[in-house]
Amino acid sequence: MAKNDKVWEKYENVAVYLLDQVASELGLEHVEGKQDVYGSRSGTSWEIDGKGVKTENEGFVIIECRRYTTSRQNQEKLASLGYRIIDTGAEGGILVSPLGFQEGAKKVAAAEGIHAVHMDQNSTRTDYMFRFLNKVFVGASDTAKITSTATITVIRADGSQTSSTSD
């Protein structure tokens, strides 16, 4: 990542990188970065943050990353992704966000095959915590402390800490 990347760009790059590292755990062969995909219904091109390619190229899922730190993803935002899934012929979607979905958004996600990946807003390629379905992935370049309540605290060499609690 370049030093002058915007915070959301770093988040997006880290998410795509980490999802590619665990692609097989997600039922994917690999994950590709930002690209345009063609919408056959609308005749337009859609820029997507990532593309999860299914095993043996048997389809793909659209990956979107939204580093919203003050509100969960709402129904409108999920409906937007849902339309891109329909238009491009994707088999579903993955939305990466630190806060997850609002209630209406959960309904849209269920209808359109969109899965939430909860990834900490300050994740890097080496220091991260993310959840997908019933799996939790943690990376720590320093010391990590995991308690029985599924709270994960990353303590870096400089003394700074990042905590995340899994529901």
Tens of pLDDT, residues 33-86: 999 999 999 999 999 999 999 987 789 999 999 998 888 999 999 999 999 999
Residues 130 and 18: beta-carbon distance below 8 Å: yes
Every domain of the chain and the residues it spans = 7-124
Rounded Cα gap, residues 53 and 55, in angstroms? 7
Alpha helices in 99-160 (DSSP H): 103-112
Domain covering 7-124 in this structure, CATH number: 3.40.1350.10
Q: What is the pTM of this model?
A: 0.78
Mind listing the pLDDT tens digit for each residue in 87-140? 999 999 999 999 989 999 999 999 999 999 999 999 888 888 888 877 888 887
